[in-house]
Amino acid sequence: MGNNGMNCEFCRSQKNINWKDEVTLRNFLSEQAKILPRKKTRLCAKHQRHIAKTIKRSRIMGVLPFVAR
């Protein structure tokens, strides 16, 4: 049923998720600046939660927009 997490980009590369890294975080946002679901991002549950929390943090800090223009 489940996989071992090797499909997850962050599990494979052992990269850290940083709220200041706008380029990486924009890959996980839709055109309307919504957070994409796991099926589209192909992340494991742990990293999907971390990405969502990091995107919300970067929105509050002003790095990412809350809504698209």
Question: Would residue 4 count as lying in a domain?
Answer: no
- The domain in which residue 62 lies consists of 23-69
Count of beta carbons in the 10 Å neighbourhood of residue 6: 8
pLDDT > 90? residue 6: no
Q: For the segment 25-55, what is each residue's pLDDT rounded down to a tens digit?
A: 999 999 999 999 999 999 999 999 999 999 9
Number of domains, the chain: 1
Question: With bands split at pLDDT 50, 70 and 90, how would you rate the model's confidence at 69?
Answer: confident
In a domain, 29, yes or no: yes
Q: Tell me whether residue 58 is in a domain.
A: yes
CATH of the domain at 42: 4.10.640.10
Distance CA 65, CA 58 (A): 9
10, part of any domain: no
| Residue 51 confidence (pLDDT) | 96
Token pair in block for residue 46 = 């742990």
Task: Give the number of other Cβ atoms within 10 Å of residue 64's Cβ.
Answer: 18
Supply the DSSP symbol for 66.
S
Which one, of 34, 35, 53, 46, lies nearest residue 7 by Cα? 46
Q: Read off the pTM.
A: 0.86
